[in-house]
Structure 1
């Protein structure tokens, strides 16, 4: 029916066109009154005619020719004549005077219903057309008022996702296996007197697979899966959200056992009474109804609620208490083993080259979520198609990692020679700190090709993934972030604005060391709430939990940490000036260096053949003289070049 209603406007327009054509075809028919016909009958010559005789009138239709007119064309006419015996005799004589023939029509031959329908059809079409337009705009029908309060949960009865499709979260799977057993056979739990958790809250960063894990639970248990977003409950009309919650549980009760999945529950489950102007009544009523449905006067047996959020700190305490969300499952970012498993899952339908090693790819992507890893393989496949390759190569995946982290390369953007030297030494400074500082991250890749907002970047990964970081590791991170700015100071005698992102990161690390981690002379005292939420009204009136004097001491400690790291960074770069120049010159020439090439530069002085002998001092001097950057204060001294030569020769002999 809905399909035909979509064609109704077209049918209406066609009907109007047909009616206009029919009306225009009747435009040549001359309708006369009785007096006009009497005058015309005196001079006109009539052709064939038809008479429809009824009780009161005679309907005459035919054609005539007027001799007084210059044109001899026939004209159709129609006239109603009073039904009398004299008029009937006169009509017969007049119409047959010039050889015309008369046919008598039965007035009852046509159907009365057809005539009535013929008159009503245009009005019916107009009425149906306006009804269609009215309902299409959503303005009519009392059903809209009832549909407005209906829940927007989407039900899937045959979920295809299984645990094998969810990788990198083995512990999280163990936490939800009881839910699957309960949904499959609840009797063995009730016989033991156990109550299965009514709600499971999945907490974790975006893209870690919370939604996918919830669908896998429904798929493994083979039960209906209701999915809804927290924002689907909140509307501008008070009471709508609560009504939708009631309707959702009522619908789910009919399909029990089942799973209700609420994504981004913080949209409706935030703390009540928070905010500068008080809470939102509609959101709070919705939350109150959700609390009642989960553990109130109504017992919704067979319904398991799984919710996901990355902001558990803003949720209402009543929502997190036992009996509602009994269990919290933290879905963290995957470790190296988890990343490899995730890559294997997403590589099932990918055509990878024989040299692609997913374990190496996992090592180069610390901090990537499952969604990021899926995007890396997808970007690699797109690049392979763009390059008209038959398989996805490691070069495609390497470029895909850079795209996911920093965006596509801006190869059309050209540096001036001075800026190119500046960026080369800036990135070389980061690389040298990563190579020479023990606790610093490992250098995987260095490039001066612009990406996103950065003029170049270093891809640095931890030497080993840890859950806890030591103070020396934080200091090494700050020192590494200062490497680019310090290299500019040493080589060019001035600094640029290219280190703004580095300064932002190192400042946050230094402040956390002092205010949160207690890694300063102020002692193990926390001077800040690491989970403070400004948008919650309570934080505006809470104020700082330390005095003005302590704030001054905090600033001094932060500056002390940064100055200490800056001094250490300056020392390392000065002692390794030859290596800094070598990496910078290589970046200036090749623009991108990999981990293997940087290692070869450090060990052998060249990037091509690691088995070749170390370069001589004269070659280093010649290269520095040939590619001296603008405003370079001084090239490497003779002592530095001799020290570099001796060190490289010693490493080769070892």
Structure 2
């Protein structure tokens, strides 16, 4: 009863072909001989034709039986324009009749073939459209990927570095396993759980782990998959998704990148009516379903500040779980999880790598392990050692080495002094990040050299003096060039951008200007978890204040410029000695430059 009957347009072509074959087969059985018209006229004159049927385009008939033959021979021929044919047939006493030829097959094909061609084109176009849209007649159905209990295969053992988030979600797992424990006291589990955090911290993995721990069905869909080219499709898909989830309860619905769907209504110069209809339907569905049936709605985003307030109110996404970048212990746990599939050497110290990677997300750490494994294979090793892991960290931070990019002698010498200037200032100022490595091997897209600084511990606050030291370190490369060569080059462009941004933040955001006081002048709301370049619009302050801001930014830069210039002038000999060693070896460590400093 459940068998589906499918129809293909090719069945029509097959039927027409079969009719033609049967027609030809019947003619073949009758043994009709095709003869030229001239031969037919000769047979008429010879008196061998018994009867003829005259058609408009063809003629056919029977010949008189030959001696010893029982049946007359059948023939056919093409009729040509011959006005004397009837007279000749009468003269030789040949029976003839006029026949109206059947044009049924020809007429049938004349109107069926265009229809068939049109249907074939229509079928081909909509089949391709259906493949792009998941089925033309199914555009209103949910595109959620459904993972059964046995297919999730992700548990909390596969998620590391987010212990606080896991503790928050254990309550959800308990509810899905034993809902009566909560309902007997009248308690209700939160309808919606919003996972927020920077990109790559494992929000999607954490949601799948919750489903795997609870052993329930997992519906996974992206926020952008609700909105299509047809009006009303998004709302229909939301309804279908919740209907499917109720049938599979208990289960988890997970919407990734919720900001694509749940952006605040009315934001921006133009309203998106279709997206707002989809959002409205989601809000209605979240209000309508009963939390006691065991459907938990989870979502992930890294832009919570742009979500519609109606989504975040109590009764909808009323529990927010922060999935932040891991600390040192969390990074070590993540590295160990990803290192399970990799053969590590005895010198592969993951604690050292965890200390070198503050601010890295789980995705970054997974990339480091993978890059180290690929590098070990490239070097012909059967184990991943500490050198491959450190090289992978540098590759993620600074980019791929460009050993084939050859600098001329003058450029190479200038880059060496530039990078030594950065490192020397960092080693000379207290509280600066530790210098790990100085290199003049080009890396990435435009870096002709780099100085690798890594903090010794995780930091969450920075003081005014530490920010000023950062500005000073950034200016060290340009000032070293001016001190040795008498002029600057274009190589310090990126350093100046970073230094100016820090000084601007000190004045406008952190209230670290004595002249302007402890106020913030930032107008736009900055994203919490992703860094994007905001538009340079004037804030809510006067032209005079804007002029004072510019003066304060310039003052901070000028003060650090003079400070670094005096420092490098005093240690010019160390600068020259360090640059000379760097030119010879191309790569030196921070400890080696520090030893040169101690020698004076």
| TM bucket normalised to smaller | 0.7 to 0.9
- Aligned partners of 1:364 and 1:444 also within 8 Å: no
Aligned partners of 2:291, 2:72: CA distance in 1, in Å? 86
Matched residue SS, 2:371: helix
Matched residue SS, 1:200: strand
- Aligned partners of 1:34 and 1:80 also within 8 Å: no
Query: CA deviation digits over 1:533-574, x for unaligned, max 9?
Result: 8xxxxx99x962222222222222222222222222223222
Task: Answer yes or no: is 1:577 the counterpart of 2:572.
Answer: yes
Aligned partners of 1:29, 1:398: CA distance in 2, in Å? 90
Identify the range of structure 1 (460-469 vs 298-307) with the bigger mean alpha-carbon deviation: 298-307
Q: Which residue of 2 aligns with 1:85?
A: none
Aligned partners of 2:566, 2:115: CA distance in 1, in Å? 88
Q: Which residue of 2 aligns with 1:346?
A: 338
Q: Which residue of 1 aligns with 2:504?
A: 511
Alpha-carbon spacing, 1:129–1:384, altered in 2? closer, same or farther (3 Å): farther
Aligned partners of 1:526, 1:358: CA distance in 2, in Å? 41
Aligned partners of 1:418, 1:200: CA distance in 2, in Å? 59
Deviation at 1:104, TM superposition (A): 11
Aligned partners of 2:488, 2:559: CA distance in 1, in Å? 19
Aligned partners of 1:301, 1:220: CA distance in 2, in Å? 19
- Aligned partners of 1:447 and 1:587 also within 8 Å: yes
Task: Answer yes or no: is 1:284 the counterpart of 2:272.
Answer: no
Task: Answer yes or no: is 1:421 the counterpart of 2:413.
Answer: yes
Alpha-carbon spacing, 1:503–1:44, altered in 2? closer, same or farther (3 Å): farther
Task: Answer yes or no: is 1:329 the counterpart of 2:280.
Answer: no
Q: Which residue of 2 aligns with 1:633?
A: none
Pick aligned residue for 1:152 from 111, 122, 143 = 143
Greater RCO (Cα-Cα under 8 Å, separation 6 or more): 2
Deviation at 1:423, TM superposition (A): 0.5
Matched residue SS, 1:484: helix
- Aligned partners of 1:32 and 1:79 also within 8 Å: no
TM-score (norm 1): 0.74
Q: Which residue of 2 aligns with 1:206?
A: 199
Deviation at 1:385, TM superposition (A): 2.2
Spell out the pairing of 1:443-522 with structure 2 (5 A cutoff): 443-451=435-443, 452-521=445-514, 522=516
Deviation at 1:36, TM superposition (A): 5.6
Spell out the pairing of 1:172-571 with structure 2 (5 A cutoff): 172-277=165-270, 279-296=271-288, 301-451=293-443, 452-521=445-514, 522-529=516-523, 531-532=525-526, 544-571=539-566
Pick aligned residue for 1:40 from 16, 40, 43 = 43
Alpha-carbon spacing, 1:147–1:547, altered in 2? closer, same or farther (3 Å): same
Aligned partners of 1:144, 1:359: CA distance in 2, in Å? 51
Matched residue SS, 1:550: helix
- Aligned partners of 1:257 and 1:302 also within 8 Å: yes
Task: Answer yes or no: is 1:91 the counterpart of 2:64.
Answer: yes
Q: Which residue of 2 aligns with 1:31?
A: 34
Spell out the pairing of 1:109-124 with structure 2 (5 A cutoff): none
Q: Please, which runs of 5 or more residues in structure 1 have no aligned partner? A: 46-55, 59-77, 83-89, 106-115, 534-538, 606-643, 650-654
- Aligned partners of 1:8 and 1:129 also within 8 Å: no
Aligned partners of 2:8, 2:484: CA distance in 1, in Å? 73
Matched residue SS, 1:167: coil
Aligned partners of 1:284, 1:270: CA distance in 2, in Å? 9
Aligned partners of 2:583, 2:253: CA distance in 1, in Å? 57
Spell out the pairing of 1:98-113 with structure 2 (5 A cutoff): none
Deviation at 1:182, TM superposition (A): 0.7
Alpha-carbon spacing, 1:285–1:585, altered in 2? closer, same or farther (3 Å): same
Alpha-carbon spacing, 1:120–1:258, altered in 2? closer, same or farther (3 Å): farther
Aligned partners of 1:240, 1:284: CA distance in 2, in Å? 12
TM-score (norm 2): 0.80
Q: Which residue of 2 aligns with 1:648?
A: 599
Aligned partners of 1:351, 1:411: CA distance in 2, in Å? 28
Aligned partners of 2:273, 2:582: CA distance in 1, in Å? 60
Aligned partners of 1:371, 1:297: CA distance in 2, in Å? 35
Aligned partners of 2:191, 2:162: CA distance in 1, in Å? 22
Alpha-carbon spacing, 1:125–1:389, altered in 2? closer, same or farther (3 Å): farther
Aligned length: 542
Q: Which residue of 1 aligns with 2:61?
A: 81
Aligned partners of 1:240, 1:135: CA distance in 2, in Å? 22
Identify the range of structure 1 (327-336 vs 393-402) with the bigger mean alpha-carbon deviation: 393-402
- Aligned partners of 1:582 and 1:601 also within 8 Å: no
Aligned partners of 2:478, 2:9: CA distance in 1, in Å? 68
